[in-house]
Structure 1
Amino acid sequence: MEPNCCWRLEQATPDICPNLDPAKPYLQHDRRQRFIECCLECHQFVQDLAQPDTTIEDLRPMLPIMVEETLKLRAEVRTLHQLIGHLEQQGSFLREVGQGLQTSLNRDEILAMAMTAITSGKGFGLNRAILLLVDDHDENLYGHMAVGPRDSSEAGNIWGEIHQREFSLREMAHRLLGDRGAQEKNKFGDLLQTLRTPLDQRTHLFNKVLRERVPRHIHSVSNEPFLPPEQKQALQAEELLLVPLVSGEIQIGLLLADNLITRRPISEADLKALETFAVPVAFSIERANLYAKLQRELLRTTRANRQLQEQQEQIVKMEKHSLVGQLSADLAHAIRNPLTILSAHARQLAQNQLADSSQRRSLNGIQKECRRLDAALQDVLALVDEQHPNLDNWDLNRALTQVYASLQGDIDLDQVSCHLDLQPGLPQLLVDYRQLSSCLQSLFRQTLGVLDPKSCLVVGSHWERDQVILTFSAPELQRLVAEPNQANCHGLALTLCARALETQHAVMETDRLNDPEPALVIRFTPQQERDHAPLVDC
């Protein structure tokens, strides 16, 4: 039976074989190629094979062709399976990259993920990636980071470790943000510095790509006329991809990528893939920049609101203290006027020669209690004034000497004595002198007031453990806490003094008043004078 297909013919025409493509005239004379392209897919050839008179001898010339084509197709199928597997892996990896870019608001993390995706075998598989960013003043493109090996030995170590440990995207990105990031900066520091380019150099290759917003595939870097020789030498690569990073009207930077180690040719598919990838990267970087700016503004606004609230509270507190101070001053004036008259009459009567000794003792007692009441009023006024201290550097010994001199008349009237044991050369204290003087007067009066006639109060100062120590010593000082009839008076006075001394960076210690050698101790911590900055930066 005559065959239906032209597979046995050395030559064939479209009249004989309807499967011949007129655009391929070589098929009419090339039996082998016609068999591969037409006969193997022809249903008439299948019918010929099914005919009984078709023998193995008839097919012998075609069998090698069929076997060769089968092996070729199997190889192609195997290659396609590998490609599909790689594309699936790449798709999964890039999906993870996309999710990371969408969820992250940290610019450094976004950049690390993007650079990892470009150089990872699971991603775009390029050997090296370099990121140039526009600086904050829009004046320069500067080298921000570079990722990749510098030689084949380092490449083998890096790629081998990644293959063995199967890092995820975020793990590789976090490694790049950590110790490996510092190593990459040290490794590529000279390169990044060399690639720094002023934006006003309009003919420079980097600026042209960024300005035109069109990616470039440079096949021969050494012949590129718009790239300076020192940058060509620093790059070392002959083939280079440049992809701009832009978001709307904002120029973010430039991505550079190459295959410096493997020298694998970069395809147009690589360029298109990287161009597509640059779009979400640019948007993510801009979103992270805006978020960081918003965070700074929020922090600044929060700080300003907190400072304004503190100012408002301070103003309200000052108004309250001003009212309390006015009331205290009026009350002190109302009490002091009759108190002064009473004390003056008692002193005049005590000086009267007609008064006997018992009357003089009573009159002196009246004067003493008037002074005590006047000191209590002074302590109350000092407590009110402590909210607005006027700090300056003062010598404690000088203040003690002046207060001692002002109280000399009271000391003589009480028939007691006072000895000052002051260490010279003490550091000055940052204090409000008026409040300090008022506290010292109160302490002198309280300690002198419990002494027996002819007793002596020792007031000392010395330097100990980075502090200025002030002590009042006398055997009768136990009465400051021991006498029931005077406890409330002394306790109030000491409490007011302790409160006022806190604003002078001083601490009053009353623990030693019950010791065999009673002493009242005040510890001053020297402070450095500080300049006062405005509360709110408007």
Structure 2
Amino acid sequence: MARVGDSYCWLIADDPAACPYLGAQEAHLLSDVRRRNREKCVGCEELRHDLAELRRTGGPLLEALTAILDEALNRCRPILRTLQIKEELLDILRHLSHSLQLALDPDEILYKGLVAFTAGSSLGFNRGLALLVEEGMLCGYFALGPRDGEEAARIWQEVNERGTTLADLLQYSPEVFAREREKFRPWLERFRFALSESPFREAFSLPIPHAPEAGRVLEITPEAPLPEVLREFYREATFWIVPLLSHEERPLGALLLDNFLTGRPISAEDRLAMELFAMEIAVALERGLAHTELREKVEMLEEAYRRIQEHQQTIIRLREEAAVAEMTLQLTHTIKNPVVAIGGLARHLHKKLDEHSPYRRFTAAIAQEASRLEETVQDFVKFAALKYATERHPVDVNGILELLAHEKMETLRHGPPIRWHLDLAPVPPILADERQLYHCVENIVNNAIEAMSDGGDLFIESRRSDDAILIIVRDTGPGLTEEAARNLFKPFFTTKPTGSGLGLYTSKQIVESLGGELQLLRQLGQGCEVVIRLPIPEAPSETSTEGEFGARRAS
């Protein structure tokens, strides 16, 4: 009996010890006794015990009054419970609506939606699943709840011990979302249904209800025909499908709710509450999906704009380079003719002069410098022609390497004793300009040959490495100093008394224009190794690789 001194708890005001059932948010009921009687005491067992005690100790009038009051309490109890449930539902709906106001992430929206369906004692479903429409199919997306009774008991105990409120539960955490989804991932991955497949066809085709009892919540009993995976998941449990529809009645997804542990049925009021909850979730979900789609389109437009800017810059750069190339070609052509004439005349004069003439050394020097200028001009012409070559088609790398080796061996037949080693593995074609690639490798091979003035071994290899082709040129010359290696691929740098210093620079430019990279490995006294890495096209063309160099090889 709830006696406090000479009085009863339901008559005492302003004493925190009078009622142990008041929550932290109900402290105002301590001073307002009548309101506390209406809201807390009417449904309290302590009051019933007090009335029973008064009936035994009081007179006939008191006995009659307590009996009447007891009967009134019995009749009011269901009404009070209904009012309590509706108040809790309204509180959950208020929290859910407020929580979803600014939510745009579908993960957050569905998480909070299922929390609202599974929290509290009003609806308090044991478990909830969310399916979303993706490419015309209804696919498993998220699930919330225990997998078995043991896990459920642990969760409910943790919630009670921590005093977790609804506001706490509605706090979205990506980590919690990922953990809950991972629990049900094997099932979610198997959930993939056509919208026309039963029972979802019936759920999405239910008419808009004109009365609460009609509803758009579809109950699925254990006897109902189901897809095999759903029956395997739910077994003998009843579950309910709540469709999520856009403002145009377009299916967005569906929520599947069940009480597989408690077996509790749902009432007409529950169905109405479920629809109200689903409407809030659907509005937020439609907004979130529209935001996601809009964001993706904005990103696509930004990417397209970035590419347009890059293309415009490329066009400007190519125009500038074309102008420079044209100017270079015209300039070198203008210089070439006089230089050739000067060299030719100097050589002619050198032959005409007497062997002991003091002028022969001057004509020899003029001829030598003219030859040097001719070579430099020719390098400039080749550099301009190769650098701006843009036509690309499938090229047989091994064919070019075989042709290059064959022509060089013929040219150097009477030169230093070079031993050639070709090791060409089967490789797919690449997209390039044949002449450009040929001269790219030729410059590197020429450099290796010139480094072995007394002869040596020259290795040319090809092989595939993941998504690239490697071309390796290695010599056994004296190698390079650190300073020479650092400057080797810079324009106009050369270690030879003659030459323009553009050969290896041009090779590097060609390789990079093909999306590849060029690497130098050197060890002083043990030669050099140059590795060319060229990307393999994702979808190699079936076009024949028999181009200009293939024709030369066949001849």
Map of 1:460 onto structure 2: 458
Is the counterpart of residue 469 in structure 1 residue 469 in structure 2? no
Contact 1:93 1:123 in 2 (8 A): no
Amino acid paired to 2:267: S
Other-structure match for 2:293:
293
Q: Once the two structures are superposed, what CA deviation does each residue of 1:389-419 show, in whole Å capped at 9, x if it has no partner?
A: 55632544642553575688xxx9xxxx534
My pick for the range that moved more, 247-256 or 362-371, is 362-371
The reply to whether residue 331 of structure 1 matches residue 337 of structure 2 is no
Deviations along 1:233-277, whole A, 9 cap, x unmatched?
A: 864567654433222112223333333321223122211211111
Alignment of 1:82-481 (within 5 A): 94-121=93-120, 124-137=123-136, 140-149=137-146, 151-165=148-162, 166=164, 168-170=168-170, 174=174, 177-186=177-186, 192=191, 196-199=193-196, 205-209=202-206, 215-216=215-216, 221=221, 235-236=234-235, 240-249=239-248, 250-352=250-352, 354-356=354-356, 362-384=362-384, 385-388=386-389, 392=395, 393-394=397-398, 395-396=400-401, 398-399=403-404, 402-403=407-408, 417-426=415-424, 434-435=435-436, 438=439, 456=454, 460-461=458-459, 468-471=472-475, 473=477
CA distance change for structure 1 residues 402 and 277 in 2, over 3 Å: closer, same or farther? same
**Quick one: distance in 2 between partners of 1:211 and 1:133?**
21
**Equivalent pair of 2:424/2:462 in contact (CA under 8 Å):** no
Change (3 A) 1:479 1:339: farther
Q: How far apart, in 1, do the equivalents of 2:281 and 2:154 lie?
A: 28
Is residue 497 of structure 2 the alignment partner of residue 499 of structure 1?
no
Aligned-partner Cα distance in 1 for 2:170–2:501: 62
Tell me which amino acid in the other structure corresponds to 1:399: L
Q: How does 1:6-155 map to 2 (within 5 A)?
A: 60-69=59-68, 94-121=93-120, 124-137=123-136, 140-149=137-146, 151-155=148-152
SS at match of 2:536: coil
Instruction: Give the Å deviation of 1:488.
Output: 7.5
SS at match of 2:120: coil
Q: Distance in 2 between matches of 1:524 and 1:336?
A: 34
Max Rg structure: 1
Structure 1 pair 460–450 and aligned structure 2 pair: CA distance change class (3 A): closer
Mapped partners of 2:341, 2:63: distance in 1: 139
Q: Which residue of 2 aligns with 1:490?
A: 494
Using the TM superposition, give the Cα deviation of residue 320 of structure 1 relative to its aligned residue in structure 2, in angstroms: 1.0
Contact persistence 2:222–2:237 (CA under 8 A): yes
Tell me: CA distance 1:400–1:331, structure 2 relative to 1, closer, same or farther (3 Å).
Answer: farther
On the 8 A contact 1:243/1:278 being kept in 2, the answer is yes
Q: Does 1:527 align with 2:534?
A: yes
Change in 2 beyond 3 A, CA 1:390/1:362: farther
Query: Which residue of structure 2 lines up, in the alignment, with residue 18 of structure 1?
Result: none
Amino acid at match of 1:158: I
Mapped contact 1:241–1:256 kept (Cα < 8 A):
yes
SS of structure 1 residue aligned to 2:473: strand
- Shift, 1:323, TM fit: 0.9
Superposition deviation, residue 309 in structure 1: 1.5
Residues in 2 aligned to 1:368 and 1:440: alpha-carbon distance in whole angstroms: 28
Does the C-alpha gap of structure 1 residues 325 and 404 become closer, same or farther in structure 2, counting only changes over 3 Å? Answer: farther
How many angstroms apart in 2 are the aligned matches of 1:476 and 1:464?
23
Query: Measured at CA, do residues 310 and 174 of structure 1 come closer, stay the same or move farther in structure 2, by a change above 3 Å?
Result: closer
Quote how far apart the aligned CAs of 1:145 are.
4.2
How far is the alpha carbon of 1:159 from its aligned partner? Answer: 2.5
Distance 1:402 1:341 in 2: 30
Q: 1:219 to 1:401 in 2, by over 3 A?
A: closer
Aligned AA (2:63): P
Instruction: Tell me the secondary structure at the aligned position of residue 255 of structure 2.
Output: strand
Rate the CA distance shift 1:261–1:439 in 2: closer, same or farther, 3 A. Answer: closer
Which residue does the alignment assign to 2:43? none
Answer yes or no: is the 8 Å Cα contact 1:379–1:496 preserved in 2. Answer: yes
Matching residue of 1:22: none
1:281 Cα deviation from its structure 2 partner: 0.7
Distance 2:447 2:149 in 1: 87
Quick one: which amino acid aligns to residue 274 of structure 1?
Answer: M
Aligned length: 450
Instruction: Please say if residues 375 and 500 of structure 2, whose CA atoms lie closer than 8 Å, have aligned partners that are also in contact.
Output: no
Alpha-carbon distance, 1:329 to partner: 0.8
Name the CA distance, whole Å, in 1 between partners of 2:222 and 2:260: 14
CA distance in 1, matches of 2:227, 2:451: 93
Identity over aligned pairs, percent: 22
**One-letter amino acid matched to 1:499:** Y
For residue 156 of structure 1, report the CA deviation from its aligned partner. 2.0
| 1:84 to 1:418, Cα distance in 2 relative to 1, 3 A | farther
Structure 2 residues not aligned, in runs of 5+ = 1-54, 464-469, 486-490, 541-555
The answer for the alignment partner of 2:543 in structure 1 is none
